[in-house]
Amino acid sequence: MDHDEKVSQMLDNLSSKGMGRFTIAPPGFRLAWFLGWKVKPPLFLGFFALFFGLGIPFSILWGILMGFMGHFSSFENGILPSVGAGIIFGLIMAIYYRVKAMELDLPPWDQYLEER
């Protein structure tokens, strides 16, 4: 089974368990899959991969958004709040996804949906 089929079956399987489709596969992951990147879904990533993989892009986007809105008087004044926002967001999301994965008792991605 290729990556796209596995992701599709995972979406159907976890949706049937009551999880929202955008919780299972956030827009950033959907974009990566659309571009052909074989990224594991967030429920199957480790804590640090989630922390950095979600925190860094959030920090960058937050800094750009706040810069365009004029909230930072200089580049240096925008770095610390953006990094702080990225750390907080990355930490919260990593904890959320790891707790959800433990509640669902999910196997590693390599073993998910394997025929036995």
Q: Where are the domains of the chain?
A: 3-111
The per-residue DSSP string of the chain comes to --HHHHHHHHHHHHHHTT--HHHHS-HHHHHHHHTT--PPPGGGS-HHHHHHHHHHHHHHHHHHHHHHTT--SSHHHHHHHHHHHHHHHHHHHHHHHHHHHHHHTPPPGGGTT---
Dist CA 62 CA 81 (whole Å):
9
pLDDT in tens, 60-106: 999 888 888 877 777 677 788 899 999 999 999 999 999 999 999 99
The pLDDT of residue 116 is 37
At residue 12, the pLDDT reads 92
- Considering only CA atoms, which of 88, 96, 101 is closest in space to residue 56? 88
pTM, rounded to two decimals? 0.87
Mean pLDDT for the chain overall:
90
pLDDT at 115: 55
Band (47; pLDDT cuts 50, 70, 90): very high
